[in-house]
Every structure is written in C-alpha cells, then in structure tokens.
Chain A
Amino acid sequence: MSEPLLEIRDLKTHFATDNGIVRAVDGVDITIRRGETVGVVGESGCGKTVTAMSVLKLIAMPPGRIVDGQILWQGRDLIPLEADELDDIRAKDIAMVFQEPMTSLNPVYTIGEQIAEGLRRHEKLSRRAALERTVEMLRLVQIANAEKRVHDYPHQFSGGMRQRVMIAMALSCSPKLLIADEPTTALDVTIQAQILELLADMKARFGMAVMLITHAMGVVAETAQRVVVMYAGRVIEEAPVDELFANPRHPYTQGLIRSIPHIDRAATTKKRLEAIPGVVPRLIDPAPGCRFAPRCRFAMPACRLATPALRDVGGGHKVACILETGGLPQ
C-alpha cells in the first residue's frame, strides 16, 4: 500500500445559521493514497461537498468554520496555513472540478486566458509557453480544433465541452490530487459516459489521485477503487469497491443500494424498490447515538446511546455500526 497523500482526520466543519449551528461535517476521516480513486457517496446534506471544500478551505467563512480536525497533505496540516501558502497548493497540488460547468468559468474571459492564467502563475510560464501548453491540454481533453477554440468564450461551449475545459484547467498544472465534485451530475447520460471515459484516460496519463464526490452509486461502482459512504456529516462505511457493492455491511449502505432501480433486474423481475423510510435527520443539535438509528430497521436501544466509531472489520472494510463491530462503542 502506497503512502497517504491526503489524510483527513476527525474533520468538523460547522455553519452558523439563524436556527443554530449546522454540523455539516462532524468527525470525518478519509485517507487518499497516491494514484488512487476514492469515491465519496451520500445523499444531499451528508456533508460530502463540504468535506471536499474544507480540504482547500473553499467554504465561506463565516458562516462556515472548521471547528476541529486535521487535513494532512503529504504529512503537512493545511488548516493553519495562510491564504497565499494555500493558493500555491491549490491548483498546483490539488485541483478541483465542480458540478456546474456553466458557472465555474468566468464568462468575460476566453477559456485560453483562464487556463493560461493558472499556468503562468503557478508554473511561471511565459505567455507564449502558457498558450502552447493550453492548446495541448485542450487537445488532451479531446476538444476538436483546439488551437482555434482556445480563443472562444465559455458560452460558445456546450455543457459537456465546458466540463472538458474545466478538466483541462484542473489538470494543466499536473496536480497530485483531483477533487471532482459531482462532475457529471448536470450532464446527460451519453455525455456523462464521455466525461467518465476522459477522467479514466487522464488518470492513466497523469497518474493523479482522484477524490470523486457523487450521489450516483453506479458512477462510483464503475470508477472508484475505494468507496466512502457518508451520512449526516459522518463516514458510516468504507471499503474496496467490489467488496462494498457485493457485501455492504451498514444498514444505510444496504438500503441505498437496494433503493435504486437496477436497470438489469428491472427488465426481468419487476420488484418493488426497498425505500428507506423517513428523511435525512437535522444537523442542528443532532440526537446522540447513531444518526441513522431513526430510519434503521435494526435499531436497538444501544444505538441511541453513543455515536458508533468507524472500525475495521477486516480486509480494509470499515463500518460504523454496533451490529457489525459488536458491543457498545467507546
């Protein structure tokens, strides 16, 4: 096993709102090793995006605040860093691709200018060299006619094309880690297939690690090597991808996998979907104990006493459920 590139330890990011403190991320541990693709799945409000944003301190502060924890980048804690030190790590070491390719590009600059800007600042390239490199990057992400299109403005690109541009921009400084936050959610299925293909291709070429944040189980299943499942601000299960889908241990993961319609099974045996009852719990003053307990069909009194810790149950499969780890936690 290679050395950890990014280690998120007991991260807590909270938001002050009118109604109280929202514990969006409340004790998250995620490790990403060199060259590895880790999928982070969960429903909206589970804290997956906030976790990613916290890594680069891209959350609005206030109302947001990193209350506790460490974010170790190759052993160095990013949380106490000043803005300019962080700037250097952003883009150069860690790059990010967002969900909305429409809004992540500045409409008044050509895409060439936007990609070149990062190259000139971080790689100290000349204007000429930066432009050449930009064209090369656009070619890499399979934008036809790259030397012409480099002078086009974002609105002249379609959604899928813009996402390609975003990927080109993110990869232009050869980062060691790419954080992709729902990179295909806004796209059509066939375009999603193209972008996933492109990401796999880029990974093979550059060898960077990828943190893929998504709500789509199918997307993680096809792209990630390891999967982290989040629920209500905490990691509840983590396992190698095949292990997770073949043998999910946490009741929430099981429910999630069973609640999605499987196209393969739907056609042959029409079965009723197993929905998880109830709604995502409130993150303001959450009740003690396992946060999934109110919706869990196996919940017992002990579940409501203390938050279960994430424990290894063998083979790198970690789960935070006292049914699986046995006994009372902590």
Chain B
Amino acid sequence: MVGSIPASATAELSAAPRSKAKQFSPWLDAWRRFRRHRLALVSTVVLSAIVLSVLFMPFVWSVPINEIDFTARLKGPSPAHPFGTDDLGQDLLSRMLYGGRISLAVAFAAMVVAIVVGTIIGAIAGMSRGWVGPALMWLTDLFLSLPPLPLLLLVIYLFRDSLKSVFGPEGGVFILIVLVVGGLRWMPAARLVRAQFLSLREKEFVEAARALGASRLRQVIRHILPNALGPVIVAATVDVAAAIIAESTLSFLGLGFPPDIPSWGRILFDAKDYLDIAPHWAMFPGVAIFLTVLSISFIGDGLRDALDPRKVM
C-alpha cells in the first residue's frame, strides 16, 4: 500500500509544515501512532492500574498477609475480605497485592536480564566481521535448542539451596528465578539485535559517522543502537509476559517461592486442591495473570506498529 503511492508520500514530506511550533521527535511521533492503537491504549490503562494498585494498595489495605483466621476459612468475597480467604483464613486481597509485587518484579527483572544479555551478545555478533559473530550465533542456536522446562528444573534443584543459604529464602529464589528465566530468554533478543545491527551498520549515516572519525563505540551507541531499539522494545514486552508465565509455572509446580511468600503462581498452586469448594481462590490469581499477560501483549502490538521503522524513516 505504501509502495503504490510513493509520489504523494514524498510530496507530503517535502511539504511538511515548517511553521508549526510543535516539535516532532521520532519518539514523540511513535507515541502519536501508539495512541491511535485503541486496544494498546486500553491495555496500558489496565496494566498501569494493576501496577499502581500492587504498589500502593498495600498502604490502604493493611490486612497482614499471614494473619490466620480459622473461623473464616475458604470464604468467598465479602466486605471484610473483598477477594475472599484461603484454607487458613488468610486475606486473599492482601496476598494478591503482595504476590503481584513479587510476580511483576520477577517478570521485569527477568526481562531486563534477557534484554541486556541479548542486546550485548547481539551487538557484538552484529558488529564483528570475523569469527566472533558466527560463534556467538552458534551459542544462541545451542541455547534455543535446549528444552527449557527440564533445564529450568535441573538448575533449580542444583542451586536452590545454596542460593537460599546466601540470600535468604525469598532473595535466593528471586535471584534464581530471574536468572533462570532471563538466562533462557535472551536468544530471541540477541538474534533480533544482530539482524538489526547487520543492516544498520551498512547504512549511509553510519558510514558518514565513520568518515567523520567516530570510534566504533560511538557508532554503536549514538547511531546503531538507538535505531535498533524499536524491535527490541517489542521483544521486551513479550519477555515480560513470558516471564510472568514462567514464574507461575514454576510456582505452580511447587518449585518457585515457598508457601509463606505468595506470588500469583504460588497462590494458584495452593488453590488447585480447592477448586470445587473455593473457586474464587484460583480465579483471582488466574485473572490477574491473564489480564497482565494479555495487556502486555497488546501493548507490544501497539509498540510494534508505533515503532515500525518504515513509518519512522
């Protein structure tokens, strides 16, 4: 479609209004396009609501997460317990809020690990002209061919106890899950970054920088990386969603956080035996995971359209 109206497109460009005081940077432009993506915008609102309530609601709803009340076991939602209670009569709303902090923190931390590792490996592979690039891509393919779940289990069995003893039960498991999930998800980012670098490094504006005497590091940081970032951001959203699911899976298998530290996945795991008597118990974490992952995916879609380089150029 774009190709069929080149004439008008260039004409419009050459005639871009000069008098407008308003400024359009490429990022602002992307935001303008993102706003037009209705579903992504709604998702942003939903996700922000989830993040904000997880962050600030505990200050308002100050019921402790481990207050055991056997008189109120497995109760459905009520004014005293808006999300109901579990088998020990613990308040599910505060456990959900606390668990949300952990689940989201794990997800974002794992995403950061995956993206940072992926970007560095992809960038090195994309800039190298010798054997380093192909070697790194071999490594990437190797990691991609490993079955993730068995590997995850293996690593957790091997290292859980030693990490727990150093960082405490909570910190240890947190670090373990972040490293394992992040460490197994850097490959798509690495491939993406490498592909971007391979095409960008031959672009004339990078050549121009080289002709001006810019060092390799400067070429990468000022010229190549900012232009490679769009797809990486999209990949990052996918990683956040995947990490939330991975954490839930681990906790659901009983390999994640211990029972006294609720995460969404852990709550779901604990609820599975009471699905018939207390369906609300499983429903709330289930819906929370579902909504978060879905809205992150939609945001990713919106970003993909907004950051499409063809529309930026």
A–B contact, 8 Å CB criterion (strictly below): yes
> A45 to B10, Cβ gap below 8 A?
yes
Tell me the residues in window 229-288 of chain A with beta carbons closer than 8 Å to chain B beta carbons: 232, 279-284
Interface: B158 (CB within 8 A) = no
The residue from B1, B4, B7, B12 contacting A282, defined by CB atoms under 8 A apart: B12
Contact B6 A279 (CB under 8 A): no
For residue B261, give the distance in angstroms from its CB to the closest CB of chain A: 49
Assess the B1–A279 pair: CB atoms within 8 A: no
**Chain A residues, CB < 8 A from B23:** none
- In whole angstroms, how far apart are the Cα atoms of A49 and B5 in the complex? 8
Given contacts A60-B1, A63-B1, contact A282 B17 (CB under 8 A): yes
- With an 8 A cutoff between CB atoms, is A24 at the interface? yes
B118 to chain A, nearest CB (A): 32
Q: For B6, what are the chain A residues with a Cβ–Cβ distance below 8 Å?
A: 44, 49
Q: Per-residue 0/1 for B1-24: is the Cβ within 8 Å of any A Cβ (1 yes, 0 no)?
A: 100111110111011110000000
Our pick among A46, A49, A60, A280 for the contact of B15 (Cβ within 8 Å) is A280
Q: Using a CB-CB cutoff of 8 Å, which residues 207-247 of chain B contact chain A?
A: none
* Least CB separation from A44: chain B residue: B10
Assuming the contacts A24-B11, A280-B11, A284-B12, asked whether A50 and B17 have C-beta atoms less than 8 A apart, the reply is: no
- Count A-B contacts at CB 8 Å: 62
A50 near B7 with CB under 8 A, answer yes
Q: Which residues of the partner chain A approach B7 to less than 8 Å between Cβ atoms? A: 24, 44-50
Q: Which chain A positions have C-beta within 8 A of B4?
A: 53, 58-60, 64
Size band of the interface chain A makes with B: 20 to 34
Is A24's CB under 8 angstroms from B17's CB?
Answer: no
CB distance from A242 to the nearest CB of B (A): 28
- 1/0 contact string of B158-198 vs chain A (CB within 8 Å): 00000000000000000000000000000000000000000
* In the bound complex, CA of A44 to CA of B10 (Å): 7
Does B12 contact A22, Cβ atoms closer than 8 Å? yes
A292 contacts partner chain B, Cβ-Cβ < 8 Å: no
B5 touches A63 (CB 8 A): yes
- Give the distance to chain B from A217, nearest Cβ to Cβ, in Å: 18
Report the separation of the CA atoms of residues A280 and B13 in the bound assembly, to the nearest whole angstrom: 10
User: Given the complex of chains A and B, what is the CA–CA distance between A46 and B15 in angstroms?
Assistant: 12
CA distance A64 to B7 in the complex (A): 12
Q: Which residues of B contact A283 (CB under 8 A)?
A: 8, 11-12, 15
Q: List residues of A (57-104) whose CB comes within 8 Å of B's CBs.
A: 58-60, 63-64
Q: Which B residues touch A280, using CB under 8 A?
A: 11, 14-15
Q: Is A330 an interface residue (CB 8 A)?
A: no
CB pair A22 B11 closer than 8 Å: yes
CA distance A15 to B1 in the complex (A): 11
Minimal Cβ-Cβ distance residue in B for A283: B11
A17 contacts the other chain (CB 8 A): yes
Using a CB-CB cutoff of 8 Å, which residues 10-59 of chain A contact chain B? 15, 17, 19, 22, 24, 44-50, 53, 58-59
Task: Show 20 residue pairs from A and B whose CB-CB distance is below 8 angstroms, ordered by the A residue.
Answer: A17-B8, A19-B12, A22-B12, A24-B5, A24-B7, A45-B8, A45-B10, A45-B11, A45-B12, A45-B14, A53-B4, A60-B4, A63-B5, A64-B4, A280-B14, A280-B15, A282-B11, A282-B12, A282-B17, A284-B15
Q: B residues bordering A, Cβ < 8 Å?
A: 1, 4-8, 10-12, 14-17
Known: A44-B10, A53-B4, A59-B4. 7 other contacts (CB 8 A): A24-B5, A24-B8, A63-B5, A280-B11, A280-B14, A281-B15, A283-B12
